[in-house]
Structure 1
Amino acid sequence: MTNLALRPVGRDVHGQAVRAGSVVIVSRLQEILGRDVVAIITGKQPRQVTRWATGDAAPTAHDQQLLRDTYQVVELLAEVEGPEVTRMWFIGMNPQLDDQAPAEAITAGNVRDVMAAARAFVNAG
């Protein structure tokens, strides 16, 4: 496990999200969360997520924002947890989000609350 006192968690997650292309972001989200969870977050069909991941289509500006925000949260969690824990964290009830799943909270426009919950989870160890 990472020593959080020596290495600040999330130090370059924002920079990664800003610099990465849509194909990279969607592919990473699909790898960690699964195509169906990414589809739920964006409100699109799973086949649309696949088209974004392959570069056959580009997400709208709104979808790009959702994807980049989600990517930041995923990468923050992935720095200290494995893919399975990260995925379960996204789809399970979260007490800091009034028992709403983080994926559903992002869909509802509460990405800041999701990031705060992710930081609390990471810092709790």
Structure 2
Amino acid sequence: MSTPSTIARGDLRAYEESVRLPTSELVARLRDLLGAKLVAYLGSVQETRAVRQWADPVDARTPSTEVVNRLRMAYRITALLHEKDSAAVIQSWFQGMNPHLDDVAPARLLREGNIEQVGPPVLAAARAFAGAG
């Protein structure tokens, strides 16, 4: 059972990992948990090939700073939720209408919004979900 203190530790660990991981490893971990299509959607690219290239540490292709910041927030949320839930649940959480976010999918907000504006409410919704049940 998750307690507020274990959620807080998981949240801090997720934050630290999201900041410290090299972009290629961050993308690879996101791809493993969310799937290449959802990572491509979050990264605003049409093809999963770009995700594969971003995850390759020797490939010269890197996403823009804006996309990296968005992916770091997505990873932070994913790592927090993964403390308690499976990859399938996390994928559903990202793609489903969320009552904490006016019934908008977290993935859509992260993709379309300014990360400084949408990041905090999406993270709060993830914290609420991680603390529930």
State the TM-score, normalizing by the size of structure 1.
0.91
* Structure 2 segments unaligned to the other structure (5+ residues): none
Which consecutive segments of 4 or more residues in structure 1 shift more than 4 A?
A: none
User: Is 1:122 paired with 2:130?
Assistant: yes
C-alpha deviation, 1:108, in angstroms: 2.0
CA distance in 1, matches of 2:25, 2:106: 22
Q: Give the one of 60, 64, 72 matched to 2:68.
A: 64
C-alpha deviation, 1:3, in angstroms: 3.2
How well do the aligned residues superpose, as a CA RMSD in angstroms?
1.4
* Percent of matched pairs sharing the same residue: 36
Count residues with an aligned counterpart.
124
C-alpha deviation, 1:6, in angstroms: 5.3
CA distance in 1, matches of 2:97, 2:81: 16
CA distance in 2, matches of 1:94, 1:43: 21
User: Is 1:85 paired with 2:86?
Assistant: no
Residue 3 of structure 1: aligned partner: 2
C-alpha deviation, 1:91, in angstroms: 0.9
Select the structure that is richer in helix: 2
* Structure 1 segments unaligned to the other structure (5+ residues): none
Residue 24 of structure 2 aligns to a residue whose secondary structure is helix
